[in-house]
A and B are shown apart, each in its own frame.
Chain A
Amino acid sequence: MNEFVEQFLIECRELVEQATDDLLTLEGQPDDKDRLDSAFRAFHTLKGAAGIVDFDAMGRALHAAEDVLSDVRAGREPVTPQLISNGLTCLDQVVQWLDAMEVDGEIPPGADAAADAIVRRFDGDGQPAAPPPAPSTGQNWIQALLDRHGPATLALRYAPDPDAFFRGEDPLALLAGLPNLIAVEILNAGDLPPLAELDPFRCHLVLGALTAGDAASAAAMLESVMERVEIVAIGRETAPNLPHSASALLEAQLMLLAEPAAEGLAGRLAAAGRASGNVLRHLGRTAEAARLDAIAAGALAALDPSALATAIRTVSRGPLEGPEAPVADALPAEAAARTLRVDVERIDALVNLTGELLVAKNALGHAAALAAEGAPVAELASQLKAQQAVLGRLVDELQRSVLSIRVLPMRYVFQRFPRLVREMMAALGKPAQLVTEGDETEADKVIVESLFEPLLHVLRNALDHGVESPTARAAAGKPASAVIRLAASRQGEHVVIEVSDDGGGVDVDRVRAVAQQRGVASGEALEAMDEQDIVDLIFAPGFSTSTQVTSLSGRGVGMDAVRAAVERLGGRVRIDSRRGAGTTIRFDLPFAVMMSRVLTVEAGGQMFGIPLESVVETVRVDRERMAPIGAARAFVLRNRTIPVIDLAQALGAREQRKPAGPASIVVASAGGQLGGLEVDRLGERLDVMLKPMEGLLSGMPGVAGTTLLGDGRVLIVLDLQAVLQ
């Protein structure tokens, strides 16, 4: 991709974010002139950018949006929900185009048709005669329908005219006549008027339907009401008729990936990726096969099967978007920001530091010259000591400055949520307001970028399970619209992110029942647990069997995945639930991912680092107090049984004679479980700059990274979760 296009993509994404933010604010505050101007400017600049790269279709779509905004600025048009929806749809389309261009740098084929659709949307906007159809809910309703009714080739959304009944129309009968109909649903079930306020002669329903037929015959069927119908083709190429053998093969790969064991994960990843790619090639879907290969390679490098599993599911169902969006779901997920906008002040600080370092270097040169001249040792020593102090201070400062360049404000991830929450809200039929706080709180780039998926999942849960239905809220005396708070704050070396809702809190009895039913914990264990322990079970692997597919988080991603994601970043998750009053999920994250505090230990004659955040305590235990249990051993610590693993053995070292006397045990917590690691000797605590494993060693299980010790030795820092499993 040439630099020109790269720059275009970066700028456009920023402008889209700005415009989205402005539009969403305008929806709540239609009189905000500044936001209106800002939105107009963003659309205008986007249009200009499209012109520079000769992307005419994009220019055309944006021009239509710009025209309408210009009318609003001139006071000729009001800000309507319809207008905001159209604007957001236009931006969505732009993002899809950008995603497609990110892949190969080419202007996506089919962009003209998509641009026409956008222009049509805006053209229809000027007629206030009929009340606008319910705001488009993005694609979430399609996902929801597919989840419940399985694969289809066509999704329809039909918002009948409120006066449809007067005109003798029968919307349901119309949909029921669609060829190859799979299911019909009421999409706005949560928004229907209460019976007492219902006007039975007006149609309040928004209907959704899935069919296995083609778009042309559906459009012909619905011709009389076409302006109120949205038809979305699901999948293309062979997707709808994936041969049974092919889907069985893909299904088998998914099962392979779903195996929980960490052993052989790399092999399974490689095999599943190769087999799925071959299935696609066999079907002639070569472009998608190539993309899948790339995703498989990424998954292999990260030893994380989730992206690959999502991609396989996506291809087995067919790309969700129209033909102009090639597997857009799977690709951009891994597109972390490769460019960083840095405040000039921070660069200046670095330049200044470099100057000071030069001075310190010269001072060292002076000391060296003194040593060569045979200056007295005492004088030399004092000079060197002073200079070492100066260097130490400078290096510390340099490190801080460099780390501060890698920070991003939470705004970077937070600003994507208002839009998504708005869509989820519409799909779930639960009115809610998302309040964000601490957008400017900074954290390491890696952390901020990795937070999107887990936060999205938590927000979705809050809306889906936390917030009650409008009727239940009314019964509980709460305002109909729920408030979901997303807040970030800096607390010392930690960044704390909280998602709280004012819903009903976790239903402890239901969690207990589900946990027992799914075998997460035995009946006796559940009996012994207090309420907080039960609530914590939602993080347990296997608790969530959600079959909800979101285009962003994939299927079956439960809270255990959220916890795993946060722990991978060196953080912890906590849940706080009050019955009837709401739930708060709290992420405690380190500020910088590169700096880690480790405890050094010696095992099998080698030194290892253990991340200090997983260490609960260190104890010395008499060997006779350790009881053999099966192949392992355990001891009792304050009435809790702690299983003990011999670290050297776990890492594959030869059996060695243990030193006499009590054993040194590091009690650590990983994945919510306590475990003990027997080591030969406990060392010291160090602040280290952790370097991830690269190249051949990058997939090594059980190793979080390495760092250099003061004496030049390499310290291997362990990934306790993998070691304890």
Chain B
Amino acid sequence: MSVRVGQGGQVQLVGVCGVEDAEALLRHLLVDPGVSVDWRQCDAAHTAVVQVIACAGVTPVGPPRGRILIDVVELLLKQR
């Protein structure tokens, strides 16, 4: 399980988030559109997951743990 709800109610992305996690993340965001997404423990995220974050327009709480997320994805989400 790499999408889970933390104690404060925030959605946490943990470890390697695969394509199947996109749907879970989308569900969380649809239920609570303002919820914060924390990816400080995230090592990698599939494009499908990034797409959900991009469509939701949220800025995840970071920095993420994975190199690619820091180097590529974080910047990409900031450019929107």
Contact = CB atoms under 8 A, between A and B. Distances in A.
A172 B26 contact: no
B47 interface: yes
Nearest to A171: B47
A171 B68 CA distance: 13
Nearest to B48: A165
Interface in B1-51: 19, 22-23, 25-26, 29-30, 33, 44, 46-48, 50-51
B47 A200 contact: no
Nearest to B73: A172
A222 interface: no
A195 B55 contact: yes
A314 to B, nearest CB: 24
B22 A192 contact: no
A407 interface: no
B70 to A, nearest CB: 11
Given A195-B26, A196-B30, A201-B23, A184 B76 contact: yes
B48 to A, nearest CB: 5
Given A195-B56, A205-B54, A189 B80 contact: yes
Interface in B44-76: 44, 46-48, 50-52, 54-56, 68, 71-73, 75-76
Given A186-B80, A189-B54, A198-B55, A173 B48 contact: no
B72 A205 contact: no
Interface in A197-249: 198, 200-201, 203-205
Interface of A: 148, 160, 164-165, 170-173, 175-176, 181, 183-186, 189, 192-196, 198, 200-201, 203-205
B75 to A, nearest CB: 6
A161 to B, nearest CB: 12
A183 B47 contact: no
A176 B68 contact: yes
Nearest to B27: A200
Q: How large is the interface on B (under 10, 10 to 19, 20 to 34, 35 or more residues)?
A: 20 to 34
B55 A165 contact: no
Given A170-B47, A184-B75, A186-B54, 18 more contacts: A148-B79, A172-B76, A173-B47, A173-B68, A175-B72, A176-B68, A176-B72, A181-B72, A183-B76, A184-B72, A186-B79, A189-B79, A192-B55, A195-B55, A200-B22, A201-B19, A201-B22, A201-B23
B80 A204 contact: no
Nearest to A193: B55
Contacts of A164: 47
Given A170-B19, A189-B80, A195 B51 contact: no
A185 B30 contact: no
Contacts of B30: 195-196
27 contacts: A165-B46, A165-B47, A170-B19, A170-B46, A170-B47, A171-B47, A172-B46, A172-B50, A176-B71, A176-B72, A181-B71, A183-B75, A184-B76, A186-B54, A186-B76, A189-B79, A195-B26, A195-B55, A195-B56, A198-B51, A198-B52, A201-B19, A201-B22, A201-B23, A201-B48, A203-B51, A204-B51
Contacts of A183: 72, 75-76
Contacts of A196: 30
B37 to A, nearest CB: 12
A194 B30 CA distance: 10
Contacts of B25: 200
A194 B47 contact: no
B46 A200 contact: no
A189 B54 CA distance: 8
Closest 7 CB pairs of A and B: A200-B22, A172-B47, A189-B80, A176-B68, A171-B47, A192-B55, A200-B26
A195 B55 CA distance: 6
A195 B75 contact: no
Contact of A203 (B48, B72, B76): B48
Contacts of B50: 172
A196 B57 CA distance: 13
Nearest to A166: B19
B76 A185 contact: yes
Contacts of A200: 22-23, 25-26, 48, 51-52
Interface centre among A176, A193, A194 (most CB of B within 10 A): A176
A192 B77 CA distance: 13
Contacts of B71: 176, 181
Contacts of B46: 165, 170, 172-173
A630 B67 CA distance: 62
A183 B68 CA distance: 11
Contacts of B44: 173
A194 B55 contact: yes
Contacts of B26: 195, 198, 200
A345 to B, nearest CB: 56
Contacts of B22: 200-201
A428 to B, nearest CB: 12
A183 B75 CA distance: 8
Contacts of A194: 55
Contact of B54 (A160, A173, A181, A192): A192
Interface centre among B56, B76, B80 (most CB of A within 10 A): B76
